[in-house]
Amino acid sequence: MVVRMVGISSRPDRYGANGIPWIVAMALYNGLCHKCTPDCERYKNTIVHEFLKKYSKDAEYQGDLMLIDNGAWPVKKMAKDISFPDFFHGSSHYHILREMYSHKFGNKFIKDATIIHVRLDDAGPAHNFQKFGVYQAFVGTENLIKLIKWAQERFELPVHLAGAQNDQDLEFCREILIKCEISNPDDFIISGNTIDQDIYIMSKAKNLIVGRSTFALMAGLLNENTVYCEDWVHLRDLIGNNKSKKFQIII
């Protein structure tokens, strides 16, 4: 555990790109500082930002854990050679943060289900699945169908899809579920909730499968069970070169 005054800011970026570095910093650094800036505005009312304010000091600091060379994601530099998900799962911060979500949402989650988070929206049909190339990309239609069928056989529980953020995403998910012979597909698409509630629903899934999305990885950090995932750069930032017990790579 590092014992020194350090600070972490916010990125003008998406939720998981901020939330995971905040969680890593809080878990690894004592005496953490955070001063809110306009970059906090987008997510200032989310649970993880409230958690950050709760466990950091509003004070000046030297250096910024969020800022590293070429604007890269700072998780790898902070976590170094540990598998952070495995480390975090046994920490007090993990239990306290989970309790903050539970306190807000209680029983508003899907019991006894498998949830697959599909990277859509800015990497989905609206952008012809090409905005990020192979980086934070959609898993692919055939692979998604295979994942759904694999999960049905492996876990013998209803499969729900998360990640649909617009009408094109919703229609795409419906078509996929119909191809998998799932009746009433709209009942198995998670959409229309707040950011926090989506995180909570996925964190409570009995089985969670996540793709190339830091948002989904954040939910995976809070899920109490094994999380199944794609092997990609930001997962490697979290687990390093380790074989994680918490995150099991299946793609």
CATH of the domain at 196: 3.40.50
- The answer to whether residues 113 and 62 belong to one domain is no
Residue 86 within any structural domain of the chain: no
Q: Which H, E and C letters describe 49-115, residue by residue?
A: HHHHHHCCECCCCCCCCCCCHHHCCCHHHHHCCCCHHHHHHCCHHHHHHHHHHHHHHCCCCCCCCEE
Report the mean per-residue pLDDT for the chain.
91
pLDDT computed for residue 226 by the predictor? 96
- The answer to whether residues 139 and 221 belong to one domain is yes
* Amino acid found at 37: T
- The answer to whether residues 68 and 127 belong to one domain is no
Q: Is the pLDDT reported for residue 131 higher than 90?
A: no
**pTM of the entire predicted model:** 0.93
Residue 43 within any structural domain of the chain: yes
- The closest of 56, 69, 83 to 238, measured between CA atoms, is 83
Q: Is the pLDDT reported for residue 25 higher than 50?
A: yes
- The answer to whether residues 240 and 122 belong to one domain is yes
Domain count, the chain: 2
The range of the structural domain enclosing residue 76 comes to: 2-80
What average pLDDT does range 202-221 have in this prediction? 96
Q: Going by C-beta distance under 8 Å and a sequence separation of 6 or more, which residues neighbour residue 121?
A: 163, 165, 166, 169
Backbone angles phi, psi at 5, to 5 degrees: -75, 115
- The answer to whether residues 173 and 64 belong to one domain is no
Residue 20 within any structural domain of the chain: yes
**Going along 118-206, which residue ranges are E strands?**
159-162, 189-190
Q: Going by C-beta distance under 8 Å and a sequence separation of 6 or more, which residues neighbour residue 183?
A: none
Residue 95 within any structural domain of the chain: no
Residue 185 within any structural domain of the chain: yes
Residue 99 within any structural domain of the chain: no
Question: Which one has a higher pLDDT value, 3 or 198?
Answer: 198
The model's pLDDT over 66-89, given as tens digits with 9 standing for 90+, comes to 998 888 899 999 999 899 999 999
3-class DSSP assignment, residue 229? strand
- The answer to whether residues 48 and 128 belong to one domain is no
